[in-house]
């Protein structure tokens, strides 16, 4: 039974579907429309979930810090993920989440990151070298394929080949099930295939654990098999497998989205592209990029941040209230879905100068627009659930562009072209992002 939200401004949208179609078309524009009509607190109905939409950096802080421990991530996400990506870190709440995150953190310390940099460099260099760009070149599908192969290598230590293709196939089918409309185990349906692939993938990973422990590699799976918190806590084999699936789910699509957005920006703004290329040449040189050299790419980092602000995958975050909670004089009843929209906040004109303009220098030392509020800029979430792999994602993106910009200049086939985006479940190019790649 839906909680009574009649005290909140707004409406429930169309019968049955609510605001779902507007959300699918563009969740940021839906949030902007609700803000214009009703302010920073309003009713919303998305995919049958009648809830409240809270807008602004204060709302971001309220949801992500959750000081009263009343807003559940598990209750919000589990209906979509429990059969395909069960007990992933993002589904855990409160003390259980903190326990698992403490252990996982050891797989993202500097010694592990140095291993990952080597794996990512080798695979990115080989993949981009193998490209034979047509004119125009559909960029997004090639990046997605490259990142699939990197996922097999980085997460599981499997190089390209039959085993890597098998693992990627199972993962792809499992991921497709998260947005399946018919969520019943009917043979032949997308959901049925997703659950079967998830079970098969878990079994494959479970069988690989003894080998990883006996002969560890540089991949994340190996690091996870030996993960240990400072208090000596470790994972069971079942927990290792479930976290492997969860990390892949959280990382792959979002990193693909970020790389495609940055390629679009560099093609559209050639002066920024040349600054990034020059910075790479000066900081990295012609060899393999070191961890320290990648960290020194200051302007590249600002471009990355601006792409995340304008086109990042963090468009909506849900939680479910486990009991009544108060936000700005509104009592949110137990059982209510609570949504925030970081992508809307990332373009609020109250905080950002010309918010729709591409301007990496807004993140520079002279301006630091993102520092006006601790929860104004949230491309990787915030609070206890802030993305544990955010630094790895940044390294992966920088390594990709080090190799790409050494070899090619990027341009749009038409100066008037605007990137077309499909937003659900995560933002991705709707037309493959056609680019012109010219050898440097």
CB contact at 8 A, 417 and 386: no
Q: What is the C-alpha separation between 81 and 92, in angstroms, rounded? A: 12
Residue 198 exposure: Cα atoms within 13 Å on the Cβ side: 25
Tell me 290's DSSP state: P
* CA 20 to mean position of chain CA atoms: 21
CB contact at 8 A, 299 and 360: yes
Closest CA to 149 of 176, 163, 168: 168
Q: What is the C-alpha separation between 330 and 166, in angstroms, rounded? A: 50
> What proportions of the chain, in percent to the nearest 5, are helix, strand and coil?
55, 10, 35
Question: Which residues lie below 8 Å from residue 414, measured CB to CB, with a gap of 6+?
Answer: none
CB contact at 8 A, 167 and 158: yes
DSSP state string for 66-95? -TTS-EEHHHHHHHHHTTTSTT-GGG--HH
Question: What are 25's two structure tokens?
Answer: 């078309």
Backbone angles phi, psi at 231, to 5 degrees: -85, 0
CB contact at 8 A, 246 and 85: yes
Q: Is 225 annotated as a binding residue?
A: no
Q: What is the C-alpha separation between 384 and 93, in angstroms, rounded? A: 9
Closest CA to 133 of 123, 124, 143: 143
Binding residues for heme: 387
Binding residues: 387
């Amino acid at each position: 039974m839906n909680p009574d939200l009649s005290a909140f401004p707004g409406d429930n949208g169309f019968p049955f579907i609510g605001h779902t179609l507007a959300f699918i078309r563009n969740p940021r524009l839906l949030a902007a429309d609700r803000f214009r009509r009703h302010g920073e607190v309003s009713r919303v109905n998305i995919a049958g979930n009648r809830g409240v939409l809270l807008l602004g950096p204060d709302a971001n802080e309220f949801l992500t810090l959750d000081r009263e421990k009343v807003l559940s991530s598990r209750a919000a996400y589990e209906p979509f993920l429990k059969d395909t990506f069960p007990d992933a870190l993002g589904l855990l709440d409160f003390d259980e989440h903190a326990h698992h995150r403490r252990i996982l953190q050891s797989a993202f310390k500097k010694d592990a990151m140095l291993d990952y940099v080597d794996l990512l460099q080798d695979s990115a260099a080989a993949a981009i070298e193998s490209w034979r760009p047509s004119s125009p070149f559909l960029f997004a599908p090639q990046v997605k394929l490259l990142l699939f192969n990197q996922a097999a290598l980085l997460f599981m230590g499997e190089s390209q080949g039959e085993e890597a293709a098998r693992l990627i196939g199972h993962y792809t089918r499992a991921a497709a099930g998260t947005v399946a409309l018919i969520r019943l185990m009917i043979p032949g349906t997308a959901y049925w295939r997703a659950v079967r692939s998830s079970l098969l993938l878990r079994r494959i990973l479970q069988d690989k654990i003894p080998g990883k422990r006996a002969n560890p590699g540089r991949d994340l799976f190996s690091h996870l098999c030996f993960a240990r918190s400072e208090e000596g806590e470790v994972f069971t084999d079942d927990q290792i497998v479930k976290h492997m699936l969860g990390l892949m789910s959280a990382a792959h699509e979002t990193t693909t989205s970020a790389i495609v957005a940055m390629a679009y920006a560099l093609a559209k703004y050639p002066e920024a592209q040349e600054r990034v290329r020059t910075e790479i040449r000066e900081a990295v040189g012609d060899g393999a990029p070191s961890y320290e050299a990648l960290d020194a790419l200051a302007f590249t980092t600002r471009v990355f941040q601006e792409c995340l602000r304008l086109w990042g995958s963090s468009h909506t975050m849900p939680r479910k209230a486990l009991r009544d909670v108060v936000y700005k004089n509104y009592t949110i009843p137990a059982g209510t879905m609570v949504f925030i929209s970081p992508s809307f906040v990332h373009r609020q004109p109250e905080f950002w100068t010309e918010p729709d303009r591409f301007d990496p220098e807004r993140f520079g030392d002279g301006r630091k627009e993102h520092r006006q509020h601790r929860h104004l800029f949230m491309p990787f979430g915030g609070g206890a659930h802030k993305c544990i792999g955010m630094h790895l994602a940044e390294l992966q993106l920088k390594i990709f562009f080090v190799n790409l910009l050494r070899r090619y200049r990027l341009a749009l086939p038409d100066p008037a072209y605007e990137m077309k985006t499909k937003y659900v479940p995560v933002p991705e190019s709707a037309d493959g992002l056609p680019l012109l790649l010219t050898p440097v």
